[in-house]
Amino acid sequence: MKNPDTPTGGQIAHLQTWTKVNPRYLAVVLVIIIGTCLAYLLSEIPFLEKFRVPRMKTMPSLQGKASEMFSKRADWSPRTPLEVEKHALLSDSTTQELETLDQMIKQFNEKAAKSWGIAEKYTGEQSAVAFLKWTIGKVIDLTNKMKASRKKMNGQSSVGGKKQKSVFNIQKNSRTQDLNATIRLTKAQENKGEVSENLRTGIKGKEYKVKTKSKVAKTIGDPHIRLVLFSTWIDKPEKREAHDNVLRTWRLWEPLVVPLVFTNDSNITTRAHSFGWKVLPEPRCGCISGRGVPLLREMYRSAMATFDSHLYAFVNGDLLLGNGMLSTIEAIVKDKALMAKPLMGLINRINVDFYHTKSDGKPMTDGSSDGFITNKLFPWQHVPDIVPGRKGVAMWLVSYAREMGVATVDVSGSLRAVHMMATKFGNNESGGNCNHKIYNKLRIKPKSWFCGFFKCAQYKTTREGSQVKIEDKSSQNHPRCGECEMDLEAVKSNIY
């Protein structure tokens, strides 16, 4: 009887055929394995570095943990520093450059996601400042890489063994100015992830999209500006890095927030335009002879005359602002009772020396403010010729606002601000006491400067999850917050 386990002739023939072919498959597999190993080894050879796509370096442990923690917090943008720089470079980048950036962003996000479990252990201001320091480092590092790439492309490129002129300049110069407007809306149609989501933060029931027909940006729905965010500064080498970081980051909230600089300096104008900022000439100046400093009152008036917005804010030009900006502004705008009267939002800062020390930074303890968010109802007509960046401007302005019945809001509960210290002078620069000379001359000093502390504001912002609320805290204020007596007759007798 035939054994059923005995192979038939056909099975034997099939087995013989497979045995003959099998070495070929084995050879293919070996070639693939060897090729993969060679590719990996070649990728590690230093002299090939210039031919490779830039790779993300391993994140510093603490700063990596802090970055992921704050990307999960509601008061920081989920966008990574690389995505921040991507939008700053969109206006003059090639497709290849943008693809490289996208790859780096993906790698960054993957690494950051692995750190969340450990990052929960790190809280407080130190982690926040560590994250900001690291963010700036990444932005600057990527900028340098992009500059090096462009420098190479703008020179001679070898094609087919022959040197030919790069077509990069032709491609860049052929783009229309209208494309910049489209980019300022962050290409919300194409980026359907975190970026477009940020643009919608706090805008209930409205989405802002981009139509690219004829490369002209248009919006669907109400594109009304929420805030005109402006500043002014002098171009000094020791402050240039801080100002460049401001130029990069303040544009993140467009089109709802319009970044604006007042300047007559051609270098600042060119630099600001390259980042998509608006530029207006300096209005009347004061404080010191010669060039002087733009009057705070006149900058607000010029911004209001140029842009139709719900709110207007001067902020010192060396402050990085957290991404609680949109939710904070939207909370103020939606409060109809608050918007129906003169108001002033107060921005307080954390001091960090990014260039000379290893300090993690400390919150300001003098109670002064570095930014003022107002609506069109604020009584600027009685504010004298005071200038920003000098002693006494914040304390007097807040005291004046409170004595005039202006609703003051401490926004530090939902909007963080970090002061990038580049010099030791601060408000002690030339003409540091010019504002106090005006107060003394007009006899309009408050009874106590304590009145001007930002903690004496009538309202404060608080955050519950992703929502920002405005609460009345006047009953909790220090008793000295009421020492605001000012000669209002003397104040109102002057109309500017």
Give backbone dihedrals phi and psi of 355, rounded to 5 degrees, phi first: -120, -25
Rounded CA separation 268/275 (Å):
11
Rounded CA separation 370/364 (Å):
10
Q: Binning pLDDT at 50, 70 and 90, where does residue 420 land? A: confident
CB 254 within 8 A of CB 222: no
CB 197 within 8 A of CB 83: no
The CATH classification number of 224-492 equals: 3.90.550
pLDDT at 150 over 70: no
Residues 341-382: tens digit of each pLDDT? 999 999 988 766 544 444 444 444 456 788 999 999 999 999
Measured CA to CA in angstroms, residue 353 lies from 126, 129, 152 at distances of 13, 11, 34
According to the 3-state scheme, what is the secondary structure of 159-199? ECCEEEECCHHHHHHCCCCHHHHHHHCCCCCCCCCHHHHHH
Comma-separated ranges of CATH 3.90.550 domains in the chain: 224-492
Counting runs of H as helices and runs of E as strands, what totals does the chain give?
Answer: 17, 17
Rounded CA separation 96/180 (Å):
19
Rounded CA separation 294/284 (Å):
6
The pLDDT of 159-177, averaged and rounded, is 35
Dihedral sign (CA 267, 428, 437, 387): positive
The more confidently predicted of residues 322 and 281 is 281
Q: Binning pLDDT at 50, 70 and 90, where does residue 433 land? A: confident
Residues 57-105: tens digit of each pLDDT? 444 444 454 455 445 443 434 445 455 555 545 544 555 656 666 666 6
Q: Binning pLDDT at 50, 70 and 90, where does residue 221 land? A: very low
DSSP state of 481: G
Instruction: Please give the share of the chain, as a percent, with pLDDT higher than 90.
Output: 36
CB 285 within 8 A of CB 199: no
Residues 270-309: tens digit of each pLDDT? 999 999 999 999 999 988 765 689 999 999 999 999 999 9
Mean pLDDT of the chain: 70
The C-alpha angle with vertex 239 and arms to 299 and 438, in degrees rounded to 5, equals 40
Residue 364: Cβ within 10 Å count: 16
